[in-house]
Amino acid sequence: MEFASYLAGEKWSDHPSCTHPLLAGLARLVNDHTTDENRQLLAPLIPSVIGLTGDDPRIEVAVALRCATTALPVVAAERQLALAVSVLAAEHVLGELEGRPPGLEPASREALDLVPEAARWARGFRGGVHISRRGFRRYAAPNTVQLAVRGIAQACVTEPDRLLRELLTGAIEDCAAVLRNRPAETAGTPGTAEREIHPVGR
């Protein structure tokens, strides 16, 4: 993120104002958890984060959903429980922001379907817990990002570096889509306008 601040003409910093704090935090975590051998592959993404900032609360939701749905199928079982709750919490906040009934976007439904036990537990847990938009922004979203990145880095997968890079790439695209206020081009991307919403309980 230091190089992003330089390219944006800001003071050298790993917390540049040109990038949304949650997206910048994700970028730092991905960089820190990527091996030295593959870290250079992240460099082409740096210019893409410049200018991706704003006060739209859907940005936090988009980043959190991307992180949770990407990590959920591959992380250890104990992390799956927390990330499944994160998916449901993010969908709840998104529903409030968009003024629609509770439901799941396709990417969220697909991720939860891959971990049925965690999904069942999360639905029971979420039933007794209310999360505010402020609480989601300050606590739930940042915690989801950290849990997802660390979980992927430690997961028993063939190429964790590649998955982390794809996670960051997807989050950048999601943030850009929110700021453009039009659907992302990637199928199943959180925040798309043309999406099928499924009832939560199904």
The DSSP letter of residue 140 is I
Q: Which amino acid is at 157?
A: V
In the chain, pLDDT over 90 holds for what percent of residues?
Answer: 70
Instruction: Please identify which residue in the block is written with the tokens 């989801």.
Output: 144
Q: Residue 63's closest CA among 74, 77, 53, 76?
A: 53
Q: Which two tokens stand for residue 138?
A: 């300050």
Contact 72, 112 (CB under 8 A): yes
How confident is the prediction for the chain on average, in pLDDT? 85
Read off the pLDDT of residues 28-46 as tens digits, 9 standing for 90 and up. Answer: 999 999 999 999 999 999 8
Which run of H or of E encompasses 19?
Answer: none
**Neighbouring-strand partners of residue 198:** 104
Read off the pLDDT of residues 94-125 as tens digits, 9 standing for 90 and up. Answer: 999 999 887 899 999 999 999 999 999 999 98
Residue 181's pLDDT band (boundaries 50, 70, 90)? confident
Read off the pLDDT of residues 114-162 as tens digits, 9 standing for 90 and up. Answer: 999 999 999 998 776 778 899 999 999 999 999 999 999 999 999 999 9
The DSSP letter of residue 139 is I
pLDDT at 12 over 50: no
Contact 76, 150 (CB under 8 A): no
Read off the pLDDT of residues 45-67 as tens digits, 9 standing for 90 and up. Answer: 988 998 899 999 999 999 999 99
